Amino acid sequence: MKTIDDYNFENKKALIRVDFNVPLDAEFNVTDTSRIEAAKPSILKVLEDGGSAILMSHLGRPKGQVNADMSLSHICEKVSEIIGVEVKFVDNCVGDEAKTAVETLQVGEVLLLENLRFHAEEEKGDAAFAEELSKNGDIYINDAFGTAHRAHASTTIVANYFPESKCFGYLLAKEIKAIEKVMQTGEKPVTAILGGAKVSSKITIIENILDKVDNLIIGGGMTYTFVKAQGGKVGDSICEDDKMDLALNILKQAEEKGVKIHLPVDVLAADAFDNNANTQFMDVTEIPDGWQGLDAGPQTLEIFKKVILESKTILWNGPVGVFEMENFAKGTIAVGDAIDEATQNGAFSLVGGGDSVAAVKQFGFEDKVSYVSTGGGAMLESLEGRTLPGIAAILS
């Protein structure tokens, strides 16, 4: 696996695919800078070697049309501030303007190209467009894990034009190693904590990880499909009735493979999907009509904590309750606390997938786990066992 450390960038122009698809407020201020911060080490490595960096990214979904609201010019100042170098900007990513900006770029300078998705050819994976992009650098670095699952021009096709000079940036290399640690090389016992609303959205992950884990903790809305499938009463809790056979099949597969599945035994139920609803702790199999489970209960959290603290490798994907509402966030916080303690005791912990990452950030666990993945969809597809096109393109 060739990484950025395998190259010296002296007098080289590095074309770096970063993921600067960051959230902006109404005044176009960046409200979460973590993706920019994640790209910083790779950019600085190029500059410190005596090279220059040409950054390319998308922002939002302009659908192949120029859209001033989605211009990367809005973030240029913030990128400059975080990297510590004034970042130049050019309002195209191909064509004469981009070519001139690249040609006049000096050693130690950084150039940010305009939004790739202003060109429809980007998402189509157009070869001619990718070839034009390739003319912007001597070496191609992919450091955008968040888009590595897309076979777009800038993430995958462009690598074909750098047969001997392409590599992973620090961020993408770390993402690959973190997933490998959970799926292949992790010290046992390995525990996966899967939450979220639907079994259907996690089924491929569950099927793929059953051969790799010792424990599978299931929480969140998925719980109730499993409980109802086994004859429990789930009241008005979210439940995929058409996935109950699937849930039973997962339990059977787990038993055959020697994987222990841990489902909630008690829940915090409410009489409405509302932070101010009436609440009550109850047996997960005895939720009456008019009530719905919205968080894990205290007995459940004790069981989960024990399993987590006995684990050496931990994957957390999905909250165990409706953490967006303060009164139903305690379960997710308790799981985070247990993972924090296990990590301090030497376990490797990986958090990935949109909602669990949001929870980790909201409750201040970012620096208390081993690694927080930056790529939602890419992370999930990796856990499903797929080879991501953006990764395959560098390895080929």
- Annotated binding residues for substrate, as ranges? 19-21, 35, 58-61, 117, 150
Q: How far is it, in rounded angstroms, from Cα 215 to Cα 190?
A: 6
Sheet with 215-218, side-by-side order of all strands:
260-262, 215-218, 190-194, 313-317, 348-351, 371-372
Binding residues for (2R)-3-phosphoglycerate: 35, 117, 150
Binding residues for ATP: 202, 293, 324, 353-356
Contact 295, 279 (CB under 8 A): no
Q: Taking the CB of residue 262, how many other CB atoms lie within 10 A of it?
A: 18
Q: Which amino acid is at 297?
A: G
Can you list the alpha helix ranges (DSSP code H) found in 104-222? 120-124, 127-134, 170-180, 203-209
- Residue 2: which residues within 8 A CB-CB, separation 6 or more? 166, 167, 168, 394
Which helix H or strand E contains 377, and what residues bound it? Answer: helix 376-383
Which helix H or strand E contains 382, and what residues bound it? Answer: helix 376-383
Active site residues: 35, 198, 354, 377
Residue with tokens 């800038």: 154
Binding residues: 19-21, 35, 58-61, 117, 150, 202, 293, 324, 353-356
